[in-house]
Structure 1
Amino acid sequence: MRLLILLIGLTVTIPALSATWNIRFPRPMSDTDSRHDYPLQLLEKALEKTGVNYHLAPTDKILLQSKALQQLQGNRDVSVVWSMTNEQREQDLLPIRIPVYKGLIGLRIALVRKADRDVFKYVRSMKKLNLFSPLSGRDWPDTKILQANGFAVETDENYEGLFDQLAAGQADFLPRSVVEIWAETGKGNELITEPHIALYYPTAVYFFVNKKNQTLARLIESGLEKLIASGEFEQLFLDAHQQSLAKADLATRRIFRLDNPNLPVATPLDREALWHQPTTSVE
């Protein structure tokens, strides 16, 4: 009986370790889009930890986030997507519930036009903050979060189009994650980071795979857990984002906490090691 169990175990594990996993991820929106750099590096290191043979490659075509998620759900062309979670995405796809950015994707700083640098200087309440219109991606979970917190949100389905809209004065600010914004300030000489406030809402970016691809999900999860246990996850996170956090100078900002009504109940908020703990208070 023991031999039979061992043989069954080998038939499950050997193919996973010996086969080459061809893993496709959505091609970045542009050649200057650096948002893929860190999650892709994290994914590579996680897969290396498992010992599997793998080949990571972008899709042939650029895919909007909504299209990439549709392709993943249909098990067509895309093997893995990293994206902000919400209830619908966790129903449609299989999440690996380890926050890629340790929750920092929900810590937002505003991009504004140079002329509006001090527009939020004296804003001290959500009532006043709601008088300003933010920009957001049409299919981003952030959009519903902002709307649920009283904002009249302007949207664009094109990532690059958001910066053009802001520069043209079609909205007041573009809230971007503290881990993204510094690479985006160069998207127009007239756009700068606003220095007085920040927004925070609890959320996470996860790696998602197709619901039927549980073996790949287990491989990614196993690799990430090994990175966490060894301290490599934390070191990679700090190497990628410590400078961004220093630039944000959060201690000098008023941080407004927003509700996230679409945060799934399975979000592992009680596992402290998965989240970056800000050193400043959140109102």
Structure 2
Amino acid sequence: MKKHIFTLLRGRTYHGIGLVFILLLWTLNVSAANWSIHYPRPINESDSRHDYPLTLLKLALSKTGVRYTLTPSERILLQGKAIRQLKENREINIVWVMTDIQREKELLPIRIPIHKGLIGWRVFLINQDLSAKFHNIREVRNLTPLTALQGAEWPDTKILQSNGFNVLTVSEFPEAFNRLELKQGDFFPRAVSEVLGELNALSLDDDIVLEPSLVMHYPAAMYFFVNRSNPTMARLIETGLRRALEDGSFDNIFVSHHREALLKVNVAERKVFHLENPLLPKETPLDDKALWFDPQIHTPQSAPNKE
């Protein structure tokens, strides 16, 4: 009996050593590999919406010590096409988009919201000739009859429709601004994390302005996604992001990138309409407060700085 127990324990010891050895080999292989990461090419070189995700991705990769090359796709890939190409493992091997139940079934999410939830705080781009429509809005029911512009394949479209909004969809992102210019829609909800870059970088008509007093919010997260057959890359990026969260470098980049927009938009001074998001996966880490930023409570300077 004693010999049997000793043999069993020795087997467990060897098994444990084997697991450690396998993990060590995995770590060494990941570190030694030269990772070729291909992301969707933006509409044009002045499209600054890619700046922050790429900066954060580079930070995450740097925290793991891996060698990598980061390259845009040969052709422009708008969001819907990019998701389809990633699902089919063609042209690209990473995207950053807002999550929903369907996307998490088709792709592999890295559940760290890269904009810390700001993607769900939406202010309105409007045609200034129609600004009077927004002067006396006090409740959601005053807003829902107006026509909101959204992309046909965006989760936001279904979120707004489920909350009773009248939504006019467009097939391509630039078309929404054309519709706004032609007064074919009343407002184009844009994330706090996106709107300033669009106003500064895109060649918008002078009549398109930021509505000054309203904001709507629904819980939402933008993640990095990879193909479901690529869990190693997902673990690599998640490891880097978590290390960046722990040492404060994630928050430093978040604050430096978003400070100007948060100050300009000033959510705390706006009337907020809170909406439901029926597309939000149950796995969304809403209880992890370190992953989220509430612009009603926090100031742009309030993220921790540990460096």
- Say whether 1:208 aligns with 2:225: yes
Aligned residues of 2:268 and 2:295 also touching (Cα < 8 A): no
**Which consecutive aligned stretches of 4+ in structure 1 deviate over 4 angstroms post-superposition?**
2-6
Q: Distance in 2 between matches of 1:21 and 1:97?
A: 21
In structure 2, the partner of 1:94 is: 108
How far did residue 220 of structure 1 move?
0.3
* Residues 1:238 and 1:118: Cα distance change in structure 2 (over 3 Å): farther
Deviation of the 1:249 alpha carbon: 1.8
Aligned 1:107-256 pairs, distance under 5 A: 107-186=121-200, 187-256=204-273
Task: Show structure 1 runs of 5+ residues with no match.
Answer: none
Q: Counterparts of 1:36-115 in structure 2 under 5 Å?
A: 36-115=50-129
Q: Say whether the 8 Å CA contact 2:96–2:222 is kept in structure 1.
A: yes
Partner AA of 2:138 in structure 1: R
Q: What is the deviation of 1:121?
A: 1.8
Match of 2:286 in 1: 269
Displacement of 1:30:
2.1
- Give how far 1:4 is off: 4.3
Which letter maps to 1:276? F
Aligned-partner residue type, residue 68 of structure 2: Y
DSSP-derived class of the 1:102 partner: coil
Give the TM-score, by structure 1 length.
Answer: 0.96
Comparing 238-247 with 26-35, greater Cα deviation is found at 26-35
Query: Could you tell me the TM-score, scaled by structure 2's length?
Result: 0.88
1:6 CA drift (Å): 4.6
Distance in 1, Cα, partners of 2:245 & 2:267: 26
Higher helix share: 2
Cα distance change of structure 1 residues 148 and 4 upon mapping to structure 2, 3 Å threshold:
closer
Q: Distance in 1 between matches of 2:197 and 2:288?
A: 30
1:6-21 → structure 2 map (5 Å cutoff): 6-21=20-35
Instruction: Confirm or deny: 8 A CA contact 1:201 1:259 kept in the other structure.
Output: yes
Kept in 2, the 8 Å contact 1:143–1:153? The answer is yes
Structure 2 gaps of 5+ residues are 1-13, 299-307
RMSD over aligned Cα atoms: 1.5
- Tell me the amino acid that sits aligned with residue 261 of structure 2: S
Identical amino acids, percent of aligned pairs: 46
Secondary structure (helix, strand or coil) at the match of 1:115 reads helix
Q: Which amino acid aligns with 1:48?
A: S
Match of 1:171, SS? Answer: coil
* Compared CA separation, residues 222 and 114, structure 1 to 2 (3 A): same
Deviation at 1:70, TM superposition (A): 1.0
Where 1:198 maps in the other structure, the secondary structure is strand
Aligned length: 281
Query: Is 163-172 or 250-259 further displaced after alignment?
Result: 250-259
Q: Distance in 1 between matches of 2:20 and 2:161?
A: 54
